[in-house]
Structure 1
Amino acid sequence: MIRQQRGLVAYTDGLTAEGIVKAACLQDGWSILLERAKTLRGEIDLVVRKDKIICFIEVKKRKTLTAAAECLTQKQQTRLYQAAECLLAQHPEWIYDELRFDLFMIDQQQEIAWIKDIIRQM
């Protein structure tokens, strides 16, 4: 029962964090293409567009910004990259000059940090 409660709290916290990030993106001039985009390879929290840039966003909420930043493992980066490939194949209408993977981190006080272009090596 306690495990279920923790899972529900984590799920609710994740939705709240994604809402905060969505609002930040909209305020910064991005348009939302997809939210919680599910593919056979995984899920991407947000897919946004500004001009000819398409950005795949992962949102991490933890007690501290540092803890949130440390949560994006190499395995998750690979999953995000593969999920993005699936989405691009499903949406040939998306015209872009640049693709980017960004990480938004949120701490307990709702402070936000944004690391742009976090997965470039692939």
Structure 2
Amino acid sequence: MARNPRQTTGQRAYLAGASAEQAVLRAYAARGMIVEAQRWRGAGGEIDLILRAGAQLVFVEVKHSQTHAQAASHLSHAQQTRIYRAAEAFLAEHPELHHCDMRFDAALVDGQGQIEILENAFGLG
């Protein structure tokens, strides 16, 4: 039986996104950051990566597209609001992290797998 082209495209997009997240995770690990959560889902929404280095907590949205500019264009204001709400929900579940400084990054991955990390991309932190 032939596969539905939409399913195949969706599967490719999912796998490309998962691969991009793993590459970004390795880039942050190389900076000495440790993973608090990956693909964390709560009442407010989902956060791709939550990392920590000492007293700094970083919430990361990973975007994958053919170019970094295209990836950045997928970051909407509504999505930023959902990420803030999800971060609040995460912190409500982890009161031991309330003392941490917070930052919201965007990690852009292009079609060649090159990563551009935009620290404090949402203007908070």
Q: TM-score, normalising length from structure 2?
A: 0.93
Q: Bigger radius of gyration, 1 or 2?
A: 2
SS at match of 1:78: helix
For residue 112 of structure 1, what is the aligned residue in structure 2? 115
5+ long unaligned stretches in structure 1: none
**Cα distance in 2 between the residues matched to 1:95 and 1:74:** 25
Q: 1:30 aligns with which of 20, 33, 40?
A: 33
**Cα distance in 2 between the residues matched to 1:97 and 1:82:** 17
**Cα distance in 2 between the residues matched to 1:77 and 1:61:** 16
For residue 71 of structure 1, what is the aligned residue in structure 2? 74
**Cα distance in 2 between the residues matched to 1:34 and 1:66:** 27
Q: 2:89 aligns with which of 72, 86, 110?
A: 86
Alpha-carbon distance, 1:121 to partner: 5.4
5+ long unaligned stretches in structure 2: none
Percent sequence identity over aligned pairs? 37
2:30 paired with 1:20 = no
2:105 paired with 1:102 = yes
Q: 1:54 aligns with which of 53, 57, 70?
A: 57
Paired residue total: 122
Q: Please provide the CA RMSD for this pair.
A: 1.3
Q: Please list every run of at least 4 consecutive aligned residues from structure 1 whose deviation after the TM superposition is greater than 2 angstroms.
A: none
Q: TM-score, normalising length from structure 1?
A: 0.95
**Cα distance in 1 between the residues matched to 2:115 and 2:16:** 14
SS at match of 2:96: coil
**Cα distance in 1 between the residues matched to 2:28 and 2:92:** 24
SS at match of 1:119: coil
